[in-house]
Structure 1
Amino acid sequence: MSVLNKALMKSFVYYLIVAGLTLATLFCFHCLTTHHQSSEWLAEKLTFCGISAFMNVFVLTYHVSHPPHPKFFLSTQRRTVLYIHIGSGCLELGSCLLAYLTGHADWALLAAGVALAGHIPTSYYQTPLVSGSKAIMIASYVFVTTLHLFCAFHLLINPQSMYWLFNLFLVLNTYVWVRVFYFLFGRIGLFTDSLYTNSVLFAVLLVLPTVLGLVGNGLFVGYLTTTVGFYYLLMRPNSQKRSQLMIENARPLLVSKVLNE
């Protein structure tokens, strides 16, 4: 078997394992949410939803006044996907709020439908483009997006459920907390060499317990370590490849700063 065929076979086996792990994670989501649906959690969820909604004011204001990263405009396809992602995310956010404020299930159905048809597929599509440490960020994005998919599906089949409405809203707002931590860490000079990666990790570890309970964080860490571990075991990357996977990929400009000096 040629070197190329061996590499392709290893990649196929690895992605097959990741798919299996992700399906197993979906089953874990089911088990955790089944035991986490008591009404005593709703007040906690509602409080965190309120804080997240408030933070959206600042984060959305920032996004309106600052253009997206240039990497999303390198092709028409990327640009189109980005606009669908932004538009569906805003519509999902607004629909969740209206579903809660009005009590009408139609808004909940719209939120779930928009998530399933627009925001979630575009999230999966953009996952390979993430900044930060690729080994950690890609697995993190897949985990959170799969949880988003899980919550949207349950809200779609049970649009009267405040439990699933809150869960969908909370998972969607992971991006808000990424921005909050990114701003805070940047301001105080913390994690300067891995700012984006740590912002994502802190945001995920903050949101997951509100959706899955405290065990959710353990599930997330287990998913990360298992996917990275299998990659190293099967692909056996050399030192250069390992460095590319683990190093913090900053948000580079299209034109190098050196050229402007």
Structure 2
Amino acid sequence: MATNSTATFDLLPHSKHVDWESSETTFRMYVGYLSLLFDIGVLTYHFTTPFHPKFYVKTARRRILQLHILSGCLEIIACVCAFYAEDPTKYAYAAAAFGAIAHVPSTFYQIPTVLGIKAFLVPSLGLVTALHGYFAINLVLNPTSFYYLLSTYLTVHIYAWSRVFFALYYRFKLFEGHRFSAAMLTSGTLLVPSVLGLRGNIGLITFVIISDIILRSTGTVEFWKAWTTEHPRELASNPEKKVVLEALVTAAEVSNAVESLSVQEPKDRYSRICATVMTANARNTSPREKAYAVFRAIDVNRDNELSVGEFKDFLIACGISTFEMEDKLMLEGLFQNRKVVTADDFCAWFTKSWIHSSSISVPRMPSTPRGQAKLVFDTLDADGSGALDLVELETLLTSWGLPRNEAAGYLKDHDKDHSGTIEFQEFYDTMGTVWKFAIQSFIDEGKIRIEE
């Protein structure tokens, strides 16, 4: 029996005429059976676990996700029925319809807001989804084709496999900080060869590289930074950014605790700061207060402006090389082609970066829902104002990979007193999906530190 797209005839039913002598077909069948097994776990997860909070920002996004899950389930059932039926035609048509009309379009709708590193995942998911649509359309034209039936069935499973790999990496603490991206890429490199052979991965890698080269040459610095930043499923930060921020906070603590540092030579001063990075305890102050203290600590000439040179010197002293600075776009993110920044500029950049980046110290773990919501609220309230403003909501949404412009609508939906901000009571009453998800994320990631 032919197992490629040139097949014009397939023996029926498919289940009785699988060519187990073919290593390629055997591999595809084993992946298919494992996919069906994992479907059970993934569906159990979906029906017992609330959606990620990003799907509650817009009602349309949540409805599309529900359509995506339903159409995917129906497509899988139709594919299985077609595999075992004496006449697979009607089931093949049903599977193709669920895929081409509902599942593929709903996937394309969600791709721009995918978590993880968009530079890898958007092009690769786009390619796999296009393949899914291609196979579904060809299944309509060739409803008795085993190749198109199995290929349609396999390409619909990229998310199921990503959940399996994510759980595996989480269990063994692998790829921390990049777990979602690693899981999606692993599932892609497994499924693409199962439908296109080994040349599929070469095509996938080539497509991702070409897409990113084009976007890098046409996009802005801000776009490229967001495009290459990990957007974790949890409320977590980039580990490398966390190291830098911890070093900055330590600089503030040491500068305030040891006044003599302010009159020492910069090299000695930075060396002493960096020597205490791993041992200093964070002061219980708001991110904006930390930011201003940090600014004073690294503003060597005390002119109330921070130069590129001053900031570079400090990062180098923290162990960040010049190459890494450029690679992580740290300087561009703060200075944006300016030679100096003011204290306000630095504080705005720091508080934006600080959210979700540091551990949270509490006397004891809150035991009530209200206490847990307050802990999350205080973490998101970067400037310590007692309310979440538009900038803080923008930071929250963009950390999930969502468009910044959705924050205004989200604020309007939850700002019941029309004050222009979200106070704690509004947060507790109307944003339960956020704080319940966040508190569990804090626990899972070990971000909550009980003070002794």
Question: TM bucket by the smaller chain?
Answer: 0.7 to 0.9
Residues 149-175 of structure 1: per-residue CA shift (max 9 Å, x gap): 111011111111111111011111111
Unaligned runs of 5+ in 2: 11-18, 236-372, 381-438, 440-447
Q: 1 or 2 for the larger relative contact order (CA 8 Å, sep ≥6)?
A: 1
Give the CA deviation at 1:33.
4.7
Among 228, 238, 245, the residue aligned to 1:246: 228
Is 2:118 the partner of 1:134? yes
| Aligned-partner residue type, residue 166 of structure 1 | L
Is 2:43 the partner of 1:60? yes
- In structure 1, what is the equivalent of residue 183 of structure 2? 199
- In structure 2, what is the equivalent of residue 180 of structure 1? 164
Is 2:188 the partner of 1:210? no
- In structure 2, what is the equivalent of residue 84 of structure 1? 67
- In structure 2, what is the equivalent of residue 230 of structure 1? 214
- In structure 1, what is the equivalent of residue 98 of structure 2? 114
Give the CA deviation at 1:225.
0.4
Whole-Å Cα distance in 2 between the matches of residues 81 and 133 of structure 1? 22
| Aligned-partner residue type, residue 47 of structure 1 | Y
Residues 204-247 of structure 1: per-residue CA shift (max 9 Å, x gap): 00111110000000000000000001111223x32x44332111
Among 135, 138, 146, the residue aligned to 1:162: 146
Residues 84-122 of structure 1: per-residue CA shift (max 9 Å, x gap): 111111100111111112242211110001111100001
- In structure 2, what is the equivalent of residue 16 of structure 1? none
| Aligned-partner residue type, residue 251 of structure 1 | R
Among 190, 194, 204, the residue aligned to 2:174: 190
Whole-Å Cα distance in 2 between the matches of residues 164 and 42 of structure 1? 13
Unaligned runs of 5+ in 1: 1-31
Is 2:38 the partner of 1:47? no
Q: How many residues align?
A: 226
Give the CA deviation at 1:252.
5.1
For the residue of structure 2 that corresponds to 1:67, the secondary structure is: coil
- In structure 1, what is the equivalent of residue 266 of structure 2? none
Whole-Å Cα distance in 2 between the matches of residues 33 and 139 of structure 1? 24
Whole-Å Cα distance in 1 between the matches of residues 134 and 223 of structure 2? 33
CA contact (8 A) 1:49 1:169 kept: yes
Is 2:155 the partner of 1:171? yes
Larger Rg: 2
- In structure 2, what is the equivalent of residue 105 of structure 1? 89
CA contact (8 A) 2:5 2:147 kept: no
User: TM-score scaled to structure 2, two decimals?
Assistant: 0.47
Whole-Å Cα distance in 1 between the matches of residues 63 and 124 of structure 2? 24
For the residue of structure 2 that corresponds to 1:71, the secondary structure is: helix
Q: Percent identity of the aligned residues? A: 32
Whole-Å Cα distance in 1 between the matches of residues 101 and 146 of structure 2? 21
For the residue of structure 1 that corresponds to 2:26, the secondary structure is: helix
For the residue of structure 1 that corresponds to 2:51, the secondary structure is: coil
Whole-Å Cα distance in 1 between the matches of residues 69 and 191 of structure 2? 21
Whole-Å Cα distance in 2 between the matches of residues 52 and 83 of structure 1? 20
CA contact (8 A) 1:84 1:119 kept: yes
Whole-Å Cα distance in 1 between the matches of residues 138 and 38 of structure 2? 26
Whole-Å Cα distance in 1 between the matches of residues 29 and 118 of structure 2? 33
CA contact (8 A) 1:88 1:114 kept: yes
Give the CA deviation at 1:71.
1.2
Is 2:131 the partner of 1:147? yes
CA contact (8 A) 1:33 1:212 kept: no
| Aligned-partner residue type, residue 160 of structure 2 | V
| Aligned-partner residue type, residue 35 of structure 2 | S
Q: Which runs of 4+ in 1 moved over 6 A?
A: none
Matches within 5 A, 1:3-14: none
For the residue of structure 2 that corresponds to 1:251, the secondary structure is: coil
Whole-Å Cα distance in 1 between the matches of residues 66 and 160 of structure 2? 18
CA contact (8 A) 2:89 2:144 kept: yes
CA contact (8 A) 2:93 2:143 kept: yes
- In structure 2, what is the equivalent of residue 22 of structure 1? none
